Amino acid sequence: MESHAVLTALEGVLIIETDFFRDERGFFIENYHKRRFAAHTIGCEFVQDNHSRSRYGVLRGFHYQDTSAPMAKLVRCTRGSVLDVVVDLRVGAPTFGRWVAVELTEDNMKQLMVPPWCGHAFLTLSDVADVQYKCSNYYTPSAEGNLAWNDPDIGVAWPLQAPILSQRDRQASTLREYMQRPAFVYAGAALASEVHL
């Protein structure tokens, strides 16, 4: 089997497409292969696997962990479909505040590599969706942060305007608030105070 990494507009954010076999019995896929993924510069040491189930209209994110416990994620949807969105949180980066989106489904079997300096969110598009993801660090409550899903300075074109949110996500910070105490700063960037939206 072969895996292909599709570059996106954000550094380190990759769409992974892996060959799979499907017949009358079902399907088979090697969704993670350390040596093969390393050939696409995905050399993370994954230490935790997470699995969430959401009903239609549930939106989770944007979530991240700061530099005290940075977490990269390899995300896939194993049931239903989700719109998965990633935003660059490196203050001073040329792509700071920009986002990319990809639909992950149980049929297309695409995966999304999310580097630690990005916020990650997804919206459930099907009646039910299971999202499973490998993490390069352990869940650390003291390191977690989140940004508002509907921040106009990010400007994601979500297909649903009234999603179901957790209390935490309803109280998320704006990008402008994040800039006051950023979790990630682009190497060689100007001071955060000099960066404007």
Give the chain's count of helices (H) and strands (E). 3, 15
Q: Average the pLDDT over 48-62 and give the result.
A: 97
The per-residue pLDDT for range 107-122, each reduced to its tens digit, is 998 999 999 999 999 9
Q: How confident is the model at residue 191 (pLDDT cuts 50, 70, 90)?
A: very low
168 lies in some domain: yes
Which has the minimum average pLDDT: 7-11, 18-22, 153-157? 18-22
For every residue of 126-177, DSSP letters joined together read SSEEEEEEEESS---GGGEEEB-TT-TTT----S-SS-B--HHHHTPBPHHH
Active-site amino acid positions:
63, 133
Q: How many domains does the chain have?
A: 1
How high is the pLDDT of residue 195? 39
User: What residues pair up with 59 in beta bridges, in sequence order?
Assistant: 123
49 lies in some domain: yes
Rounded to 10 degrees, the C-alpha dihedral 149/154/155/156 comes to: -50
Q: Average the pLDDT over 128-144 and give the result.
A: 96
CATH code for the domain in which residue 64 is found: 2.60.120.10
51 lies in some domain: yes
144 lies in some domain: yes
What percent of the chain stands above pLDDT 90? Answer: 75
Residue 40 has pLDDT above 60, yes or no: no
pTM of the model: 0.86
How high is the pLDDT of residue 22? 72
Instruction: Report the alpha-carbon angle 176-181-186, nearest 5.
Output: 90
Residue 123 has pLDDT above 90, yes or no: yes
Which has the minimum average pLDDT: 4-18, 139-153, 156-170, 181-195? 181-195
193 lies in some domain: no
Mean pLDDT of the chain: 88
